[in-house]
Amino acid sequence: MTYVCIKCGATWIVGDPTDDKSGGLCDQCITLYVRERQKNQGSDDCFNRAVENCSNSECNYWECCNREVIKCDEERREA
């Protein structure tokens, strides 16, 4: 499926390319959106900046931001 970002117009493909297109937000626009929300909530705009597991588990975006770290931890436990 081919996707087009509804904010910036970037395109990306998931799976096989198709002529059909679907809308959504690209990773960059999601990051900018979440960081703006974090600032508006009085938090640090740290979304997607962590290199390791973030210690601020009270953050509304903690799970989404740390999904790659969580995935790696789960894979290590299964091995």
pTM score of the predicted model: 0.71
| CA–CA distance, 34 with 12 (Å, rounded to integer) | 20
Residue 68 burial (CB < 10 Å; 0-12/13-18/19+)? exposed
The pLDDT, as a whole number, for residue 59 is 84
Return averaged pLDDT per consecutive 10 residues of the chain, 79 residues in all.
Answer: 94 89 92 93 85 78 76 67
The pLDDT, as a whole number, for residue 73 is 64
The pLDDT, as a whole number, for residue 64 is 83
The pLDDT, as a whole number, for residue 30 is 92
The pLDDT, as a whole number, for residue 71 is 66
The pLDDT, as a whole number, for residue 34 is 92
